[in-house]
Amino acid sequence: MTPPAPRVELTSAAAELLRRLRAVHGPLMFHQSGGCCDGSAPMCYPEGEFRTGDSDVLLASLAVEGIDEPVTFWMSRSQYEVWSHTRLIVDVVEGRGSGFSLEAPEGVRFLTRSRLVGT
């Protein structure tokens, strides 16, 4: 039996950027709120800097080669209800994203792509 596809996965470019950010900022986390401005851009923070609560869902604890601890990936519950049928792929694209996400000074931004579960 084939194991199910992960709910969240990283491209090799996203994993490489996370390794660089981890070296500078320590343990990391993602949060995807689904807000109007950066709805498809997961925000990367030092672990614990973004306070999660009952309105958030922990989708994954991502194992990244070269990083000792998992990188958690959180999503607002309301956004999860819309995207619950998808697999999320975190990628990196050129361009400046939100000033609050750790990669902003790098001239790149994280971007979430989605694929229907089962495809």
Query: How confident is the model over 20-58, as pLDDT tens digits?
Result: 999 999 999 999 976 655 556 899 999 999 999 999 999
CA distance 52 to 39: 17
Taking the complete model, does pTM exceed 0.85, yes or no?
yes
Topology annotation, domain 8-116: Hypothetical Protein Aq_1857; Chain: A; (2.60.300)
CA distance 51 to 63: 21
Residue 119 has pLDDT above 60, yes or no: no
pLDDT tens by residue, 49-95? 999 999 999 999 999 999 999 999 999 998 888 888 889 999 999 98
**Gyration radius of the chain over CA positions:** 14
What are the Cα distances from residue 13, in Å, to 16, 65, 84, 108, 110?
5, 12, 25, 11, 10
Give the position of tokens 């958690």: 72
> Token pair of 9, please?
């996965």
